[in-house]
């Protein structure tokens, strides 16, 4: 973990401005093509959600601004960001997971399966590990949304929040999915979201 020196930080004025706003958060929804990721998941008999979430987390971990958090009036940058995803149980309720990131897909999927089993069998809402070294994310595969709003606690929050829509097959055969990301503007700008979107698509195409 690195503590950012606010006095020399190039975004100090932006940070000072946006952190004082009542609502410093902004959200963007953008499409990604998931054709190759979907075919990979089906061909290898692995979770499509797990595959694209892993691609997403690889992209998240390559954008420094998405690894920044506000803690006690300090800005810190974590070395690694994990995934705290909502996972549905068989009774249609959900629990919050904490899936440790690993660059290897099989290890990440193992962590995902472990958390899914824990949530199904314990009925707990919150994960065993609960910290800011993560992003919050959820899949809504029942609808092809074009916009999304996250609940707001009223407490200053700096954890990016993502949502993934229904997979849609277009007339040309491409498989598309919308992605929403909600961030604190004191830490993240539109440029950084664009960088994340490019990296996410890059990994989905591999």
Domain ranges of the chain: 2-204
Q: Is 34 or 147 the better-scoring residue by pLDDT? A: 34
The whole-number average pLDDT for the span 121-136 is: 94
Tens digits of residue pLDDT in 149-164: 887 777 789 999 999 9
- DSSP assignment of the chain equals -EE--TTT-TTHHHHHHHTTSS--EEEEEEEEE-HHHHHHHHHTT--HHHHHHHHHHHHHTT-GGGGEEEETTEEEE-S--EEEEEEE-TTS-EEE--B---SSHHHHHHHHHHHHHHHHHH--SS-S---SSEEEEEE-TT---S-------SS-----EEEE---EE-TTS-EEEEEEEEEETTT--HHHHHHHHHHHHHHHT-
* Local confidence band at 4 (pLDDT 50, 70, 90 cut-offs): very high
CATH number corresponding to 2-204 = 3.30.559.10
Highest mean pLDDT among 103-107, 123-127, 168-172: 103-107
pTM of the prediction? 0.94
Tens digits of residue pLDDT in 129-139: 999 999 999 99
């Amino acid at each position: 973990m690195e503590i950012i020196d606010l006095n020399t930080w190039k975004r100090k004025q932006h940070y000072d401005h946006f952190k004082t706003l009542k609502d410093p958060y902004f959200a963007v929804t953008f499409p990604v093509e998931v054709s190759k990721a979907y075919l990979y998941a089906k061909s290898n008999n692995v979770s499509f959600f797990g595959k694209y979430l892993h691609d997403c987390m690889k992209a998240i971990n390559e954008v420094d601004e998405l690894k920044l958090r506000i803690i006690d009036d300090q800005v810190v940058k974590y070395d690694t960001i994990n995934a705290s995803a909502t996972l549905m149980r068989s009774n249609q309720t959900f629990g919050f997971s904490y899936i440790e990131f690993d660059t290897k897909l099989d290890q990440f999927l193992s962590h995902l399966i472990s958390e899914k089993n824990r949530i199904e069998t314990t009925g707990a809402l919150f994960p065993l590990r609960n910290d800011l070294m993560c992003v919050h994310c959820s899949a809504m595969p029942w609808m092809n949304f074009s916009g999304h709003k996250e609940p707001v606690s009223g407490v200053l929050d700096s954890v990016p929040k993502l949502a993934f829509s229904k997979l849609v097959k277009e007339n040309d055969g491409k498989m598309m999915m919308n992605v929403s990301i909600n961030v604190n503007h004191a830490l993240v700008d539109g440029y950084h979201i664009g960088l994340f979107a490019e990296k996410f698509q890059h990994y989905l195409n591999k």
